[in-house]
Structure 1
């Protein structure tokens, strides 16, 4: 979007920009397809344990039934690979991509706040957002885990439901870039998700480049004041077994180490 004239009052400029970035009003059919896309992305980004592996035929047929779109094509490319892999190979690849690489961690607030106390407050705010919408995650995962954020978006809708995704757009771009650099088929799931979001601004792209080069912010003090480890950074927190509606990977795989 080209810059708005400086003569336009600041409040008006802000509202115009917000309108441009706000999701367009959807028809009931479009809303249903979008909800299914978000839920499929949530499922496909969960740890591929035996239950998820067994559901691959249903997931593949659900993707094939989606209306044609760039997002649907990306998910079809992923499920084509997903269905041809042995379960143990899927598990190893998932751990390699999401548990052992900081730049493709699925914990979104890490990219915005890094290992700082601000991350604890961001997690608390996100959990409060879920409760205010009447959604209880049962504490099976941190509230910023991408499959959880996607499930909330699918349940709540494009407005406030997708607000956390828009807020963490830069983190999503970085995950997609890292997965692409690693030639991981999971890049297709992130690409599908990104097609549902407003286009990145120049500031977004610059911030992603800076994150890729320098990493998120860091500080010596931990996040203990916000829950005695409950909101610890990746690598320090071992979440309990995942509860519905999302599926979790085994707790012992939750490590975040630089390659």
Structure 2
């Protein structure tokens, strides 16, 4: 086991087999979602470094911090690739909320046993926590039900849908075209600078927990436990304390 994979297992507090079977991937995804936050602090601070395997390792594993989709999903892509899976990074376009930006969500396509799946650990708290097949099959998760349907238009050929209480909501559309690290840096630049970006306006830090999820903003802390929501206003001192104690992020 190399230094990168060992660092990843340590970061997500994974103590299972180091020979990652397909059935182990959901466990990795849940551990990832609990321990590596979805957060936009670098965007708010106008940080402009390039996105690469090396910078992701430094930020997410060694520092340790969280990040947005163009950091979280590529990190997991590199992990899956290192342990022997057939994967590629792809770009998707968010449908809800509609902001006009195209191709700025990054996800991972995994091909295993002649089936193709999307694997996403970088979509805030809306995570399936397991690979979703591109067959239309609905999969169930603690965060809801998900499926991928094929479309026939000139913009995308697949759509990820979330089903909640019988209501179907499309999350994003995508093709199977691969993207590279240069594209990731381009997405980071757009998310940081473009006025249509939803992530360059105010602080957002969120992660899953065993019982739900927790979200921190500049002024509030919101925690959902077993479907019960608790929201409290906070001051700057409490914000820094919560950032450190609940998310493991120091000195921001």
Higher relative contact order (CA 8 A, sep 6+): 1
Same fold (TM over 0.5): no
Length-normalised TM-score, structure 1: 0.27
Which protein has the bigger strand share? 2
